[in-house]
Amino acid sequence: MDNYLSLFTQYNIPAAFWVNIQLTFWAAIGALVIGTILALMRISPVPSFEAFGAGYVNIIRNTPLTIILLFGVLALYNQLGFRLSDDFQTNFFRLAVMGLSIYHAAFVCEAIRSGVNTVPQGQAEAARAIGLGFLQSASLVILPQAFRGAIVPLGNVLIALIKNTTVAAVGSVAVEASSVMKTALEFRGDIIIPIFLTFAIGFVIIVIPVGLLTTWLSKKLAVAR
């Protein structure tokens, strides 16, 4: 037991998970903003907007997240000199947030669009009948109901995002959970299984409350028909 407990003095495991939580928080905000804009494009009556939204979703959703994060480091940072901060670690953290946001925005878009499909057609027709334009109809009538109908798929996207923050290690984010676990496995081969279980349980502790909250909100905010 003492051998295992020494792992926590040698490595700051809670701080590593805190990095993943911060990645999740900022990337979730970015993905929600981009995904909502894409969802508006996908339901837009303007063909070029609809085509752009569909193209973004199909391309990004079928591109591995690892490639997107590596593009940020190898192409934007190394080749083009793109900087989001003068601090080395902060720059890579923000690049990882950007990559995670861009990737998960495609899934957020489809989740919101599935919520739009739960809104009765008559709601949009009534909005147009009283003289509301597309953006007014979407922001005042369609999207508020769509978000309520998309709570479960949005929650699933958030859970996937939490687990996908471990991929940030390939984007040179050196202090998140998966990179700390890799280092611990390399230097503490005497407790390999406990190390795996520790990090697995850590993610379970983070993910389960999100799933429970999603289920509760979906029932609490369900649209009565």
Q: Residues 25-56: pLDDT tens digits?
A: 999 999 999 999 999 999 888 999 999 999 99
Task: Retrieve residue 55's tokens.
Answer: 């193209």
Domain membership of residue 215 (yes or no) is: yes
Q: What CATH number does residue 52 fall under?
A: 1.10.3720.10
Q: Report the greatest alpha carbon distance in the chain.
A: 72
Domain that holds residue 97: 2-220
What pLDDT is stored for residue 144 in this prediction? Answer: 87
CB 91 within 8 A of CB 168: no
Task: Retrieve residue 155's tokens.
Answer: 């929650």
- CA 88, CA 78: separation in Å to the nearest integer? 12
Q: What average pLDDT is seen over the chain?
A: 89
Domain membership of residue 78 (yes or no) is: yes
Q: Which is more confidently placed, 210 or 191? A: 210
Long-range contacts of range 209-215, CB-CB < 8 Å, 24 or more positions apart? Answer: 210/155, 210/158, 210/159, 210/162, 211/155, 211/159, 213/155, 214/151, 214/152, 214/154, 214/155, 214/156, 214/158, 214/159, 215/152, 215/155
Domain membership of residue 225 (yes or no) is: no
Domain membership of residue 88 (yes or no) is: yes
Domain membership of residue 104 (yes or no) is: yes
- Could you give the number of structural domains in the chain? 1
- Flag the least confident range among 84-93, 118-127, 153-162: 118-127
Does residue 222 surpass a pLDDT of 80? no
